[in-house]
Amino acid sequence: MATTASSRTVLSALIGLVSLSLLTTGCSAEAPAQAAPAELGTAETAVLPDLNTFGKIENAPLDPAPAAKATTKVFKVTKELPVYDKPGGKPFGKLPTVQVGSPTWVPAIAEQGDWAQVLLPARPNGLAGWIHTPGATESATNPYTVTVNLAGYTLEIFKDGKSQGTHKVGIGKAEFPTPKGRHYLMASIEETKNTYSKYVLPLSAHSDSHETFGGGPGTVALHTWPTNEHIGKSTSDGCIRVTPETLTKLMDLPLGTVISIT
């Protein structure tokens, strides 16, 4: 599966939050089989709202257990894919094949037969929905997860449940806090306009304090800063600031990696 560099696009990230101006869990045991959804026509799919970092979906399902462990399955969207409120239920949006220049990969938090409940990148934070996986996806196993402890200013990378190291980070200031919850690595951007971070890693999360930021949708991201003086402090507008060494490790993670912020 693609991880980062092969799918990067040139976009601008402004200070604090990414400005995209161009721009329970686990397998359900003995779950009853669910019928495949009725095939949606092109016109029917087209009218569904896009589930991307620019979107906002009202009255959509939320992550039922944001503190729980996700599955290790991730899905790549290979054509526009309807997302349903439940297996065999009503579609409320569609996933595009590309998220801010990177291929769309979403993590599964539950599975029922050919259905997978996945995290979504639109507002509000914590959106989740069901996809019929044979419809337009490829799947892969992702052994990585990341946890961010805001109180401790730490980020820890895990592989197959084993720690790969803990790193100090900077987080959002009190009035613009980094949003808690179960999010995921949505895209990878090579930065060319600003100098504070060579690469920016947008998450599926958005600021709860900034409806927009710098002309973009207030997308929260992982990125570096010109100096490391902000590491271990609450000084950003919601983004997670990391050292260059930490960013290098994070860029090795596959898209769709779950980032749990507590």
**Cα–Cα distance measured from residue 241 to residue 73, given in angstroms and rounded to the nearest whole number:** 27
Mean per-residue pLDDT over the chain, rounded: 86
- Residue 27 lies inside a defined structural domain of this protein: no
In terms of residue numbers, what domain contains 83?
43-141
The predicted model gives 234-254 an average pLDDT of 97
Q: What is residue 156's predicted lDDT score, i.e. its pLDDT? A: 98
Task: Give the CATH number, domain containing residue 59.
Answer: 2.30.30.40
CA distance between the termini of the chain: 28
> Are both 151 and 255 inside the same structural domain?
yes
* Domain final residue, candidates 141, 166, 193: 141
- The pair phi, psi for residue 201, each rounded to 5°, is -115, 95
Longest dimension (CA), the chain: 55
Q: What are the residues whose beta carbons fall under 8 Å from the beta carbon of 90, sequence distance 6 or more?
A: 84
Share of the chain above pLDDT 70, in %: 83
pLDDT above 70 for 197: yes
Please choose, from the candidates 6, 11, 23, the residue with its C-alpha nearest in 3D space to the C-alpha of residue 194.
Answer: 11
**Cα–Cα distance measured from residue 119 to residue 63, given in angstroms and rounded to the nearest whole number:** 7
* Bridge-based pairing state of the strands 9-10 and 189-190: parallel
> Are both 137 and 155 inside the same structural domain?
no
Residues facing residue 26 across a β-bridge: 110
- pLDDT tens-digit series, residues 33-59: 567 776 676 777 889 999 999 999 999
Residues facing residue 112 across a β-bridge: 115
Q: What are the residues whose beta carbons fall under 8 Å from the beta carbon of 66, sequence distance 6 or more?
A: 126, 180, 181, 182, 260
pTM, full prediction: 0.85
Task: Give the CATH number, domain containing residue 212.
Answer: 2.40.440.10
Q: What is residue 85's predicted lDDT score, i.e. its pLDDT? A: 97
Q: What is residue 208's predicted lDDT score, i.e. its pLDDT? A: 78
Buried b / exposed e along 38-65 (16+ C-beta atoms within 10 A)? eebeeeeeeebebbbbbbebeebbebee
- Residue 207 lies inside a defined structural domain of this protein: yes
